[in-house]
Amino acid sequence: MSLIDPENTLPPARSPLSEAWEMFRGNTAAMLALIVLALIMLCAIFGPWVYPTDPFDMVWAPFSPPGVDGFLLGTDYLGRDLLAALIHGSRVSIVIGLAAASVSILIGVTVGALAGFYRGWVEELLMRITEFFQVLPTLLFSMVIVALFGASLPMITFAIGVVSWTAVARITRSEFLRIRELEYVMASRASGATNSKLMFRVILPNALPPIIVQAALMVGSAILFEAGLSFLGLTDPNVVSWGQVIGSNRQYILDASYTVTIPGLAIFVTVLCISLVGDGLNDALNPKLRSR
Amino acid sequence: MSSDILLNVEDLVVRFAVKRGRGFGKNAYLHAVDDVNFTVKRGETLAIVGESGSGKTTAALAVARLVNSYKGKVELNGTDLLTLGDEDLRQARAKVQFIFQDPYSSLNPRLRAGDIVREPMESLGSMTEVEKAERIDFLFEAVGLRPEQQRLFPHQFSGGQRQRIGIARALATQPDVIICDEPVSALDVAVQAQILNLLRKLQKDFGLTYLFISHDLGVVQHMCDSIAVMYMGKIVEYGPRLDIFNAPQHPYTRALLSAVPSVDKARRAQTKRILIPGDPPDPVNLPDGCRFANRCPAAQDICRRDEPELSNGVACHFPGAEL
Amino acid sequence: MALLSVKNLRVEIKTRAGVAPVIDDLSFDLEAGESLSFVGESGCGKSMTALALMGLLPEGVGSIAAGSITFDGEELTTASEARLREIRGNDISMIFQEPMTSLNPLFNIGEQIAEVLRAHQNLSRKAAWSQAIELLDAVRIPNAKARVNDYPFQMSGGQRQRVMIAIALACQPKILIADEPTTALDVTVQAQIFDLLQDMQRQTGSSIILITHDMGAVAEMAERMIVMYAGRKAELGPVEDVIAHPRHPYTAGLISCVPHILSTLTEEREELVEVPGIVPALQDFGKDTCLFASRCLQAQAQCLRARPPEIEFGPEHQSACWRAEEL
């Protein structure tokens, strides 16, 4: 009786990630959004060199409409170039979006992982803290932080991160609770894996898909959050950002609506693309939708 | 003779606290494994059989210290595993390995097959990379997989092949005892035979000792040297394979055996089916006396009063009674 | 005339790789009061056969491509959805493998049984309720009068399966299809369910189609059996004959690959006969070869050249194997 398995075909090794990418590529909307996002990123990275006009310089008469007088997007109430504001402002918006999302992922994953892995009083304590942060009115709380500690970019990032990590913590915890009971985790434990190895090398990688999706969406909401804060004037006055442009031009929304709609559109497109990508990631990373 | 005994389990109790109702009442306990004793000789197979809720899997997990025991002793080669501290326990895990029931959830989907088998060697032991690679090659061959398959991911294998990877992983650290928790019940019948034959061949080739957990009496009959039958956390009958299958004493064992449908005409003709109506009692609120009494066709008053002790391999007041 | 007659049935399902015949040229008859069993590994088309009979093939995915299903003289493949719905409740019922999820957790079991009765037999609310109690009693749920108010979560797996049987039997169907009814249950509970099904059959005279992978269950429960492999009928015959002398290597493999408890056990333990490999993938279904050849120890060149015909052994016993006569 032969013990060798008779199935002779050997397919190429395909990791779950490469399958997810294949799935993602098939999603037209998500791919388009990804391309647009890439363009926005390129603009944020290289734009200021290509278009070095200082967004704080008063370069022309105020309220020059788009396309007139050689300014593609026109000028604002102080005669500052809106295109320059858009290009230079994309940096701040995107950097704050990414950094704030990273802060909340870091806090959320740590809290959720510890709670889901250790259970017991650790979980009780951490989840009560999470709930405390959940019931705080987020905008108000971040305004308080910024108002108390000053409106520097790191502080704004921190303020946004600190109010938005709770969703990540809950997702991470529930994934940990589910995965820690799976047999492969027990198998790792049975073969002598330490707790830190179980947590970070066995469970966390398998818990990542929904966290990644949440992270993508959070970049979008952090951008919105930053826009909200700077609209209220709670921002570093020496740095231009999309929200700040909207905020400073808000009195003229009726007379020169383009000064508000153009940066608003930039935020809208960016956030829309981010959530389309997040949606695509969700489909691609959800194994139930993947046909075997 | 006692030097033959590799695994000795004494008075093992595993209990879980359960919340009942609301408020701050006293915690009730569910005794999933209640005062269980058994021994396994080197190179042999002890099967623990029972239905769902009998505590057989919990007992196995407790032996491997994958759940905490409340009290008792689990001696492997004379060392009590239950008293080991963290680091000693981690090292001792090399000697007790586990084969899981579900080949779909027992392999980490993000690791390649070769790395799954490598993992125990990374965590335990002090092999060089070359030695590890050689051992992985050797194990893949031993379980009937080809070395090229090491780079594939779990979802690229069939259920039977996945179970082979799980077996290779269990063998990686050269354990003394391998606990097989329903290793074939998630597989298709034809694939079951492949895995059962493989387990028996490996036992012969490497002198392995198995603690074999199953609800399938046919499979148990084929695999084991002795059997412990569990009901509601207790061992109700314990003995060598032929004794239990040819002359079962406990009414529960007899009902269990009679319930297995058989293709053998002779067996169908000679066994009278013993139906045990009703449900097992509430495990948190156990009755006095024998736990099987409410379903037992031979139960008498004493059965509802006094709990029978396991003696001569059977825990029953009326072993072998007319049913 | 047979109660149910299936002729050259072909069911196709759409996959990413194209259309595959999950049931390929299947013919069989079912007599009134008979119990017939379908056996095979998962993915061989057993459950698909049941769904086809019920007219419950997954819409947009599976469809009947050819052949006929005649029930009591009426053609089902062309029947309207409304007529099928009528037949499903009244004449053909089905119980499923998973008694945990087949009941609605939000309603008590009495309401769920009564609802079936009212929908199909136009009973009044009160009459339906009292008949529900009778049915629960019939499927041997102790203290039916009180338990009728229980919700599914209050019952054990075995009891839930009994409730499912009560619902299936509510309208006294002519055919009861049981798709792996005991796979999720303990063996002592399985014995009770089998006992119950046999009793019910004796009392009501309905036919039973039992779908299972367990040869032992077939031997206990059925009079005739059909062995399915890769969507095709491998062997059909009376259970006793087929088990005593299988005429298809797959049947022989299915019987001998399982360690059975024999009347007297001895020290001796033979190695189990293996059926190597696994069931072919869907895209290989429908090829003009013997689909079992790749796993068959008796395969010859001929087996890969053409699909084997069904060879008769007496009026009742057929096998689709090129070498059936030699076995």
| Chain B nearest-CA residue for A8 | B146
Question: For residue B59, what are the contacts with CB-CB under 8 A and spacing of at least 6?
Answer: B9, B12, B14, B33, B36, B48, B213, B230
If you average pLDDT over each of A22-36, A143-157, B171-185, which comes out highest?
Answer: B171-185
pLDDT at C52 over 60: yes
What is the rounded average pLDDT of the residues C166-172? 85
What is the rounded average pLDDT of the residues A204-218? 88
Q: Does C279 touch chain B (CB under 8 A)?
A: yes
pLDDT of residue C134: 87
Q: Does C143 touch chain B (CB under 8 A)?
A: no
Q: How many CB pairs under 8 A join A and C?
A: 12
Q: How far is CA B85 from CA A8, B68, B88, C300, in A?
A: 47, 13, 5, 61
Query: Do C265 and B241 count as a contact with CB atoms less than 8 A apart?
Result: yes
Contacts of C295 in chain A (CB under 8 A): 6
Among candidates C156, C255, C265 on the partner chain, residue whose Cβ is nearest the Cβ of B221: C265
pLDDT of residue B163: 95
Contacts of C274 in chain B (CB under 8 A): 190, 193-194, 197
**Total domain count, chain B:** 2
Q: Name the domain boundary from B247, B264, B283.
A: B247
pLDDT band, residue C182 (cuts 50/70/90): confident
CB A195 within 8 A of CB A117: yes
**Picking from A57-61, B9-13, C258-262, which range would have the lowest pLDDT averaged per residue?**
A57-61
pLDDT of residue B30: 87
CB B97 within 8 A of CB B171: yes
**B220 plus B74 within the same structural domain:** yes
Which residues of chain A have a Cβ shorter than 8 Å from any chain C Cβ? 1-2, 5-7, 291
What is the rounded average pLDDT of the residues C24-49? 91
Interface test with C, best of A7, A290, A292 (most C CBs within 10 A): A7
DSSP lists the bridge partners of residue B180 as B99, B212
Query: Do A2 and C16 count as a contact with CB atoms less than 8 A apart?
Result: no
CA distance B238 to chain A (A): 27
pLDDT of residue B211: 96
pLDDT of residue A60: 74
Q: Does A120 touch chain B (CB under 8 A)?
A: no
What is the rounded average pLDDT of the residues A166-178? 94
Which residues of chain C have a Cβ shorter than 8 Å from any chain A Cβ? 16, 271, 274, 276-278, 294-295
Q: Percentage of chain C with pLDDT > 70?
A: 99
Q: Does B35 touch chain A (CB under 8 A)?
A: no
**CA atoms within 13 A of residue C129's CA, in its CB half-sphere:** 10
Mean pLDDT of chain C: 88
Query: Do C277 and A5 count as a contact with CB atoms less than 8 A apart?
Result: yes
pLDDT of residue A292: 36
Pick the more confident residue, B133 or A18.
Answer: B133
Domain-located, residue C112: no
Q: Percentage of chain C with pLDDT > 90?
A: 31
pLDDT of residue C326: 83
Among candidates A1, A3, A13 on the partner chain, residue whose Cβ is nearest the Cβ of B151: A13
Among candidates C16, C271, C276 on the partner chain, residue whose Cβ is nearest the Cβ of A6: C276
Domain assignments of chain A as residue spans, ordered by start: 25-42+81-285
Contacts of A190 in chain B (CB under 8 A): 64, 66, 93, 96-98
**B163 plus B110 within the same structural domain:** yes
Among candidates A187, A194, A206 on the partner chain, residue whose Cβ is nearest the Cβ of B109: A206
Q: Name the domain boundary from B231, B247, B263.
A: B247
Contacts of C277 in chain A (CB under 8 A): 5-7
pLDDT of residue A5: 43
CA distance B58 to chain A (A): 13
Among candidates C259, C276, C279 on the partner chain, residue whose Cβ is nearest the Cβ of B222: C259
Contacts of A9 in chain C (CB under 8 A): none
pLDDT band, residue A226 (cuts 50/70/90): confident
Query: Do B263 and C265 count as a contact with CB atoms less than 8 A apart?
Result: no
CATH number, position C12: 3.40.50.300
Q: Does B51 touch chain C (CB under 8 A)?
A: yes
Q: Does C186 touch chain B (CB under 8 A)?
A: yes
If you average pLDDT over each of B11-20, C55-64, C65-74, C156-165, which comes out highest?
Answer: C65-74
Helix (H, G, I), strand (E, B) or coil at C311: strand
CA distance C263 to chain B (A): 4
Pick the more confident residue, A259 or B112.
Answer: B112
Q: Does A254 touch chain B (CB under 8 A)?
A: no
Among candidates C41, C156, C240 on the partner chain, residue whose Cβ is nearest the Cβ of B188: C41
pLDDT at A63 over 80: no
pLDDT of residue A137: 87
CA A195 to chain centre: 30
Q: Does C260 touch chain B (CB under 8 A)?
A: yes
pLDDT at C281 over 50: yes
Exposed/middle/buried for residue C150 (C-beta within 10 Å: 0-12, 13-18, 19+): middle
**B224 plus B99 within the same structural domain:** yes
CA distance A107 to chain B (A): 24
Torsion angle defined by CA atoms of residues A14, A17, A18 and A24, in that order, rounded to the nearest 10 degrees: 140
pLDDT of residue A171: 94
Domain-located, residue C104: no
Q: Does C11 touch chain B (CB under 8 A)?
A: no
Give CB contacts under 8 A, 24+ apart, made by B1-7. B4/B41, B4/B42, B5/B39, B5/B40, B5/B41, B5/B42, B6/B40, B6/B41, B6/B42, B6/B76, B6/B77, B6/B176, B6/B177, B6/B209, B7/B39, B7/B40, B7/B63, B7/B74, B7/B75, B7/B76, B7/B176, B7/B177, B7/B209, B7/B211
Chains with 3 or more CB pairs under 8 A to chain B: A, C
pLDDT at A6 over 50: no
**Total domain count, chain C:** 1
In chain B, residues 246-275 whose CB comes closer than 8 Å to chain C: 246, 255-268, 270-271, 273, 275
pLDDT of residue A243: 82
pLDDT at C57 over 70: yes
Task: Give the domain extent around B306.
Answer: 251-323
Query: Do B221 and C274 count as a contact with CB atoms less than 8 A apart?
Result: no
**B163 plus B234 within the same structural domain:** yes
CA distance C160 to C154: 9
CB B198 within 8 A of CB B144: yes
pLDDT at C81 over 70: yes
pLDDT of residue A291: 42
**Picking from A239-253, B111-125, C134-148, which range would have the lowest pLDDT averaged per residue?**
A239-253
Question: For residue C47, what are the contacts with CB-CB under 8 A and spacing of at least 6?
Answer: C179, C180, C211
CA distance C41 to chain B (A): 6
pLDDT of residue C1: 74
Chains with 3 or more CB pairs under 8 A to chain C: A, B
Contacts of C17 in chain A (CB under 8 A): none
Q: Does C269 touch chain B (CB under 8 A)?
A: yes
| Chain C nearest-CA residue for A9 | C277
How much is the pTM?
A: 0.85
If you average pLDDT over each of B44-48, B157-161, C157-161, C260-264, which comes out highest?
Answer: B44-48
Domain-located, residue C189: no
Q: How far is CA A23 from CA A20, A277, A289, B151, in A?
A: 5, 12, 10, 22
| Chain C nearest-CA residue for A5 | C277
Pick the more confident residue, B179 or A222.
Answer: B179
Task: Give the domain extent around C236.
Answer: 4-80+213-326
ipTM: 0.85
Domain-located, residue C89: no
Mean pLDDT of chain A: 83
**Other C-beta atoms lying within 10 Å of the C-beta of residue C205:** 11
**Per-residue confidence in pLDDT tens, chain B, 323 aa:** 445 899 999 999 999 888 765 555 567 888 899 999 999 999 999 999 998 889 999 999 999 999 999 999 999 998 999 999 888 998 889 999 999 999 989 999 889 999 999 999 988 878 899 999 999 999 999 999 998 899 898 988 989 999 999 999 999 999 999 999 999 998 988 899 999 999 999 999 999 999 999 999 999 999 999 999 999 999 999 999 999 999 999 999 999 999 998 888 888 888 888 888 877 888 888 888 899 998 898 888 999 989 998 888 999 999 888 87
pLDDT of residue B73: 92
CATH number, position B235: 3.40.50.300
pLDDT of residue C100: 67
pLDDT band, residue A4 (cuts 50/70/90): very low
Contacts of C262 in chain B (CB under 8 A): 262, 264, 266-267
Query: Do B193 and C274 count as a contact with CB atoms less than 8 A apart?
Result: yes
pLDDT at C69 over 90: yes
Domain-located, residue C102: no
pLDDT at A147 over 50: yes
| Chain C nearest-CA residue for B280 | C156
Q: How many CB pairs under 8 A join B and C?
A: 134
* Reported CATH class of domain A25-42+81-285: mainly alpha
CA distance B72 to chain C (A): 29
CB B298 within 8 A of CB B323: yes
**B239 plus B256 within the same structural domain:** no
Domain-located, residue C174: no
Q: Does B198 touch chain A (CB under 8 A)?
A: yes
